[in-house]
Chain A
Amino acid sequence: MSRKILAVDDEPHMLKLLDRIITEKTDYQIVTTNNSLEVPQILESDEFDVIISDLKMPGMDGMDILKYLEDNDRKEKVIIMTAFASLDTALDALSMGVFDYITKPFKKEQIIATIDKAMLWQQFRRESQTFQNILSQEPFTKALEFFKREYVLRLALRYNFNFTRMSEFSGIPEEELKSILGAPN
């Protein structure tokens, strides 16, 4: 699954630079806009893992975007870019749920490391959600069933849907594996 970034800054040059390094140095997909007013519309039609946003912009600023995400129960993590001068506000932003902030100018590696961290966080969040989901099932047999499905799914990804090998290593009969994944026999 490709992981996506939305970058928002009223400065198109900054966006071009971000677009360039993300595309060149990572596997993430990036979408950019230099008009923060477009953000709700972009979010309506798409989901992202990470939003990199300038703090101070006309229209919606970085904190407005954060609020929009909260109000709409969105899972995107926000990284705020800020000039050194507005560092205090950036620190405030952290307390309000911003994932991290980065002061401009920054090194290529710095922003990539911050994004990687946010992506990892998102991955952990999804994992944890999966397990929350399994553990909250009642009765116990249903939880087992959910677990088995998740287990088999990961097994399949590990062995690239090679059912013979999946069965050999897991000890679950091939037929059962196929039926769990809904694959044709």
Chain B
Amino acid sequence: MASSIPALICDASALISITDSCFIHVLYMLKRGFSGAYVMPPCVYEECVVQPRRIMADARYALRVERAVSDEVLDVVPLADPGDAAQILQWANSIFTLEGRPLPILQRGEAECLALALETGVRDLLMDERTTRLLLEDPAQLTAHLQAEYGERLRVRQQPLDELMARCKTLRFYRSSEMLLLAYQMGFFDDYWNMKEEALEAALYRLKYSGCALSEDEIEQSMKLALRGKNAE
């Protein structure tokens, strides 16, 4: 995949929140005006389609993602070099130690998304899980959080953190909530007429309860943005 094509790399966490909340059509809507691609590494496809499709209780979520792939709304893009993900994982999982032992914090799926971004030159990722995002946006806050959990025994190794940040610091993260907010601005809830703001708020809470790492304060920020846009009309 050429780096000149705009793209959004999708992590399993965001696809899970979106399908669980029945908002897969937000991706369809935003895709219409987007010349780029929504892509996922094979690991994410495995987690979102292959595995849940075997379980009847989860199959409908898997089929929503599979249909989006069939409709060419989502693409699966393999890593050119699986070693890239392994390297990212090695760095990330060497940053924090507890009593001298490394504390692994990331898993292959998250590492593959980061690796795919670096391999393709794509800077934009859709990710609802918060640790990866926090690690790269505000490692000091993640450190403070881990220290609050594990106490003074937790230490940070600067070298792997520096290696990871050198490569990943320009990456930009979005959540399913921002996708929904943008879709709202483009008319996704217009058929709710005078209830569309209420529909947006309900939808944001639905995403939150489906696992999107979104705080109540951020929902409030989102609603202010939505209403600001309405008042500007």
A binds B: no
